[in-house]
């Protein structure tokens, strides 16, 4: 089956609430059929607005949204056939679990036995069979969450939107629900648009992630690419931990550049969004890509002073004063070879220039 | 199991329950002392007056005490024919005593309530009695006025013998105990109270309905508008609340009278002819309009406080699941507002059923309610026991409505905030 790669299409969408500030700026986004895409970004970045426009609760100020090639701006929400899981579940508190799930089927005039069958199936999918006659208030947060997911899926919508559905759950439950939602997505193949500000949630669940900031998509790629190869310093900062050096390009070759840092030292980096020498840049290195006292040959080798050691069980976080950056973080795996990490010690730190990405200076 | 029957002891060996009671006694006393003034206040200003009202409404001791000998001698009288001489003698002695104490006027008023025509014959008796000779009072009294020969009047006296009576309640329902001691309706042209009761219920019902119809959209708007607008609207709703009731009613009088602003407007726009201005005051219309306006905030506030708690995402959920806006409203939003509707309707209905000032001022003859009748008996006829009886009937009615309401909606479902 050939998949429609433009199942949902945002075409040059702008959105403003007050006529002065654009909340969403020139958004172009294609979502493939059956994809699990996450809109990730800090609060106020426009991701929820995008979701609301797709659901039909907000209208784009400019541009058009297409669902399976049909423009939907003029279709009211109840005719779009899009399932939605809300932030606080939005279960109808005066209806039982069964009635909640039957609601979308009843308004679609399904027969009673068909409703029963579909509700049964949806409940067993979220492993809540037997809870039909409970009221939402009698369920735990996690169970309510699952009912909300089941309700959004029970009428076989083309697209399911999820607006920070796990935000109200505690950490353990959130993690197990992440897997559960992921498995449901994999088993029924529905297109999911998921909004969250939690990057680990986005990384574990999605096929692709759209990182939002300031009303714009900063980067749209798979989780691993997003983490390993951020295209700008916002994404590098926002996703995962990140050590940065501000500096200026002094020498530029095809896949390497020299960066002169503010304290005068020079490092070799991988040019991503810098063009010529003289450009200002921010170099980003992931904490786990810099190694201490390594025997491997790497093209950046420096000495740093240990400022702080935090024991994390399986690994140790070490904060260094390195090349003028007092916030340089290292993650050292917990092994007997690294027992000499003590505050105040000088240690050797090395990394490959490929992992030091020279990005925009912001 | 043994652990069930075994008493749990504290570390010091005192039974746990005893220890707990001891520890909490102080708090209980404190709590009681805190509510004691209110309890006392309620007792003095609420329970006691209602008890007094109840006593007053059934109390019929006055006549009993004024004619002690008469009633004693009447005990053996079967009431079929004229009473024997002893009764006449006892009545003469009792009445003589009343004349000496100068309280005979009260008796004539009281007996006249029971049967018309007593007033004049008692007065005549009082005048003639000075010349009465001893003995054979029966003939002497009967000679005063032919009505004294009528057995009905003596039966009427006997009916006043018990110290307690339900006659006031019967009167409140346009019924009375007739000469044969049966409860019957009063003549059709004299039934005033039943009309008033029904009108009170009708007005309360429609005022509640009108309030509900108007308050629901307002409350919804209040709950959904952004803060800066909703505050302004809230003040608009509450402003009449802060204005004196009398002023508001008076302003309705200015608006609604025949030469008033509303009528002027109708004439100006050509809706009605100048010589056919509709009467909107001193009738039911005036009562409806003014009472609805005055009671509206009592409906808006409970509705608003309930609607405020309904998450807007519920309506969105309803729509996203395929419900049209109407279905989403009717199946999701409306059921969730029922506690507020219940509270508002009960509040407005109960307030409306006992409403007084507004109907008194703008109601006219066809717009007065039962409370105006109660006030009339309190102030004008001074028949306090009848006023008390009607007041208690009103209270019983309210309690009955509350009971029915509890069966239908459930008091637990009422939410005032």
- Do A92 and B327 lie within an 8 Å CB cutoff? no
β-strand partners of B175: B185
Spell out which residues of chain B touch residue A108, defining contact as CB-CB under 8 Å: 322
Q: Are residues A12 and A107 in the same domain?
A: yes
In the predicted structure, residue B417 carries a pLDDT above the cut 60: no
B335 to chain A, any CB pair closer than 8 A? The answer is: yes
What pLDDT does B384 receive? 84
B336: Cβ contacts below 8 Å, ≥ 6 apart: A93, A94, B306, B310, B314
Tally of domains within chain A = 2
Residue by residue, pLDDT tens for chain A (362 residues) are 456 778 888 888 888 888 888 888 888 888 888 889 999 888 888 888 888 889 888 888 888 898 888 888 888 888 888 889 988 888 999 999 999 999 999 999 989 999 999 999 889 888 888 888 989 989 888 889 889 989 998 988 889 999 888 877 888 888 888 888 888 888 888 899 999 888 888 888 888 999 888 888 888 888 888 888 888 888 888 888 888 888 888 887 777 888 888 777 888 888 777 777 777 888 888 888 888 777 777 788 888 888 888 888 888 888 888 887 888 888 888 776 666 777 777 888 888 888 888 887 77
A167 to chain B, any CB pair closer than 8 A? The answer is: no
User: HSE of B23 in the Cβ direction (CA atoms, 13 Å)?
Assistant: 8
DSSP sequence for A248-279:
EEEEE-SS-EEEEETTS-EEEEEESS--STT-
Tokens 């004693």 label which residue?
Answer: B72
CATH number at residue A267: 2.40.50.100
Q: What is the mean pLDDT of residues B3-31?
A: 80
Q: Are residues A106 and A229 in the same domain?
A: yes
Residue where one domain finishes, among candidates A183, A212, A233: A233
B169: Cβ contacts below 8 Å, ≥ 6 apart: B57, B58, B389, B393
Q: What is the mean pLDDT of residues B31-45?
A: 92
What pLDDT does B206 receive? 93
Spell out which residues of chain B touch residue A152, defining contact as CB-CB under 8 Å: 321
**For residue A195, what are its two tokens?**
């909004």
Spell out which residues of chain A touch residue B316, defining contact as CB-CB under 8 Å: 55, 57, 77, 84, 86, 90
Model confidence pLDDT, tens digit, residues B332-385: 999 999 888 888 998 899 899 888 888 888 887 787 888 888 888 888 888 888
How far is A254 from A231, CA to CA, in rounded Å? 17
CA separation, residue A124 to residues A119, A158, B45 (Å) = 9, 20, 61
Which of B311, B323, B325 has the CB atom closest to A90's CB atom? Answer: B311
- In which residue ranges of chain B is CATH 1.10.3720.10 found? 193-413
Q: What is the mean pLDDT of residues B386-400?
A: 89
What pLDDT does B413 receive? 65
How far is B56 from B165, CA to CA, in rounded Å? 10
What pLDDT does A339 receive? 61
Which of A57, A92, A155 has the CB atom closest to B322's CB atom? Answer: A155
In the predicted structure, residue B2 carries a pLDDT above the cut 50: no
- Do B319 and A56 lie within an 8 Å CB cutoff? yes
Q: Are residues A228 and A250 in the same domain?
A: no
In the predicted structure, residue B414 carries a pLDDT above the cut 70: no
- Domain that residue A289 falls in: 242-359
Better-scored residue on pLDDT, A318 or B205: B205
Which H or E run contains B376?
helix B370-379
Q: Are residues A96 and A196 in the same domain?
A: yes
**For residue A212, what are its two tokens?**
């939002």
Which H or E run contains A333?
strand A325-333
Q: What is the mean pLDDT of residues B265-283?
A: 84
Q: Are residues A205 and A269 in the same domain?
A: no
CATH number at residue A68: 3.40.50.300
Q: Are residues A99 and A162 in the same domain?
A: yes
User: Shortest CA distance to B359 belongs to which of B261, B213, B252?
Assistant: B252
CATH superfamily of B193-413: MetI-like (1.10.3720.10)
What pLDDT does B6 receive? 67
Instruction: Return phi, psi of residue B91, to 5°.
Output: -65, -40
Q: What is the mean pLDDT of residues B31-55?
A: 90
Residue where one domain finishes, among candidates A233, A256, A277: A233
Q: Are residues A224 and A302 in the same domain?
A: no
Asked if the interface predicted TM-score (ipTM) of this complex is over 0.95, the answer is no
Spell out which residues of chain A touch residue B324, defining contact as CB-CB under 8 Å: 78, 107
Which of B319, B327, B336 has the CB atom closest to A93's CB atom? Answer: B336
What pLDDT does B300 receive? 92
- Do B311 and A84 lie within an 8 Å CB cutoff? no
Which of B313, B327, B336 has the CB atom closest to A107's CB atom? Answer: B327
A96 to chain B, any CB pair closer than 8 A? The answer is: no
């Amino acid at each position: 089956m050939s998949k429609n790669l433009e199942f949902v299409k945002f075409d040059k969408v702008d959105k403003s609430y007050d006529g002065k500030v654009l909340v969403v700026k020139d958004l172009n986004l294609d979502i493939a059929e059956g994809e699990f895409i996450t809109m990730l970004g800090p609060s106020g970045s426009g991701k929820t607005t995008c979701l609301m426009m797709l659901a039909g609760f907000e209208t784009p100020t400019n541009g058009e949204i297409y669902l399976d090639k049909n423009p939907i701006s003029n279709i009211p929400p109840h005719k779009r056939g899009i399932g939605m899981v809300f932030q606080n579940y939005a279960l109808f508190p005066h209806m039982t679990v069964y009635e909640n799930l039957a609601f979308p089927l009843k308004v679609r005039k399904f027969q009673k036995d068909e409703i029963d069958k579909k509700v049964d199936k949806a409940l067993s999918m979220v492993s809540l069979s037997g809870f039909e006659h409970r009221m939402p208030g009698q369920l735990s947060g996690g169970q309510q969450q699952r009912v909300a997911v089941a309700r959004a899926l029970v009428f076989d919508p083309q697209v399911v939107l999820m607006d920070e559905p796990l935000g109200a759950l505690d950490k353990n439950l959130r993690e197990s629900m992440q897997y559960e939602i992921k498995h449901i997505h994999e088993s029924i193949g529905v297109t999911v648009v998921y909004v969250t500000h939690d990057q680990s949630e986005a990384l574990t669940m999605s096929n692709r992630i759209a990182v939002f900031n300031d009303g714009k998509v900063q980067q749209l790629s798979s989780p691993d690419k997003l983490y390993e190869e951020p295209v700008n310093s916002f994404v590098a900062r926002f996703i995962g931990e990140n050590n940065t050096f501000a500096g200026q390009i002094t020498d530029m070759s095809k896949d390497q550049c020299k960066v002169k840092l503010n304290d005068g030292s020079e490092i070799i980096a991988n040019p991503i969004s810098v063009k010529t020498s003289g450009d200002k840049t921010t170099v980003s290195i992931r904490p786990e890509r810099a190694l201490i006292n390594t025997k491997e040959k790497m093209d950046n080798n420096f000495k740093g002073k240990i400022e702080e050691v935090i024991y994390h069980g399986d690994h140790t976080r070490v904060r260094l004063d390195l090349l003028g950056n007092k916030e340089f973080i290292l993650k050292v795996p917990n092994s007997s070879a690294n027992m000499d990490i003590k505050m105040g010690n000088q240690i050797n730190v090395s990394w490959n220039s490929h992992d030091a990405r020279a990005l925009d200076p912001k | 199991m043994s652990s069930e029957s075994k008493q749990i002891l504290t570390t010091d060996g005192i039974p746990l329950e005893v220890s707990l009671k001891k520890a909490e006694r102080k708090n209980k006393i404190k709590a009681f002392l805190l509510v004691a003034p209110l309890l006392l206040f309620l007792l003095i200003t609420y329970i006691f007056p209602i008890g007094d009202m109840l006593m007053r409404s059934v109390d019929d001791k006055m006549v009993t005490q004024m004619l002690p000998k008469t009633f004693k001698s009447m005990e053996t009288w079967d009431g079929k024919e004229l009473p024997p001489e002893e009764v006449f003698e006892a009545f003469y002695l009792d009445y003589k005593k009343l004349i000496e104490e100068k309280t005979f006027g009260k008796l004539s008023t009281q007996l006249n309530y029971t049967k018309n025509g007593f007033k004049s014959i008692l007065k005549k008796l009082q005048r003639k009695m000075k010349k009465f000779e001893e003995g054979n009072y029966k003939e002497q009294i009967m000679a005063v006025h032919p009505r004294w020969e009528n057995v009905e009047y003596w039966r009427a006296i006997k009916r006043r013998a018990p110290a307690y009576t339900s006659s006031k309640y019967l009167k409140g329902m346009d019924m009375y105990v007739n000469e044969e001691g049966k409860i019957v309706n009063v003549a059709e042209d004299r039934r005033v109270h039943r009309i008033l009761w029904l009108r009170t219920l009708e007005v309360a019902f429609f005022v509640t309905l009108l309030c509900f119809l108007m308050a629901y959209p307002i409350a919804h708007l209040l709950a959904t508008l952004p803060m800066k607008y909703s505050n302004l609207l809230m003040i608009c709703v509450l402003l009449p609340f802060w204005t004196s009731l009398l002023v508001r009613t008076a302003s309705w009088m200015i608006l609604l009278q025949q030469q008033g602003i509303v009528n002027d407007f109708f004439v100006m726009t050509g809706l009605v002819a100048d010589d056919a201005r509709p009467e909107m005051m001193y009738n039911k219309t005036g009562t409806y309009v003014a009472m609805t306006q005055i009671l509206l905030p009592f409906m808006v506030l409970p509705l608003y406080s309930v609607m405020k708690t309904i998450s807007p995402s519920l309506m969105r959920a309803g729509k996203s699941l395929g419900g049209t806006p109407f279905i989403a409203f009717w199946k999701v939003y409306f059921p969730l507002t029922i506690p507020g509707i219940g509270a508002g309707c009960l509040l407005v209905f109960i307030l409306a059923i006992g409403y007084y000032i507004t109907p008194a001022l703008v109601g006219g003859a066809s717009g007065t309610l039962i409370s105006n009748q109660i006030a009339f008996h309190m102030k004008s006829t001074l028949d306090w026991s009848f006023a008390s009886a009607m007041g208690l009937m009103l209270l019983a009615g309210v309690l009955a409505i509350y009971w029915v309401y509890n069966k239908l909606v459930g008091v637990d479902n009422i939410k005032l905030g």
